[in-house]
Amino acid sequence: MKLLLVEDSGKLAHWIVSLLTSEGFFIDHVSDAEQALPISRSQCYDVILLDMRLPSMSGKEFLSLMRRRGNTVPVLMLTAHGSIDDKVSCFEAGADDYVVKPVDARELVARIKALVRRRNPEAATHLLCGDLEYRFDSRQFRHDGKVLALRRREHAILETLILRQGKTVSKSLLMESIFGLEEAASVDAVDLYVHRLRKHLVESRASIMTLRGLGYMLREREN
């Protein structure tokens, strides 16, 4: 799962990035809205964490501009005050949720998972692809009651595929899901991780299909 953090406090940003990385998320960080605007257009994120009060352009202004341009990515606003006016202002700008600073680690992680779950309204607690189960609370994959032992980037790719199961997922999107802004992305690496995932799924009814020239698709294996 790939996140974007827009936060100008270096200390808070470092804490959030460390926390979410330890939770298995991939996260990019920028310190102002001017940097975030082109990135939000060129990259595909599962959730954006946005500070309400940023230098130059506020988080509210950035979010309003993003929404006017048709970007529907879930946004979790970080606000310094829990007043009714602040809450209403967040939602009026197009935020999906908010947390009040100082941020509680467990609440932050839970709210991110909840935002992703809302994009899959038919799945209250889990997703199924054949006999492969993905649980939103733990972000674990299970098959035959056992947790799949996946490496971090293998997990990120399979998570990206199951959240979009039945749809074609381009290699460029899969690259974005496992490489940060400062890293050299590699198509070959994506192919390698997909190859490893297929070995994990060899006894499962879930299958990763290759759509030549388009990308990959996760769907139930045909009998």
Domains of the chain: 2-118 (3.40.50.2300), 126-220 (1.10.10.10)
Q: Is the pLDDT of residue 17 over 80?
A: yes
User: Residue 110 in 3-state DSSP?
Assistant: helix
What pLDDT, on a 0 to 100 scale, did the predictor assign at position 123?
A: 60
pLDDT in tens, 142-161: 998 899 999 999 999 999 99
Helix segments in 82-185, DSSP class H:
84-93, 105-118, 152-162, 171-178
Q: What is the mean pLDDT of residues 94-109?
A: 93
Question: Residues, the chain, total?
Answer: 223
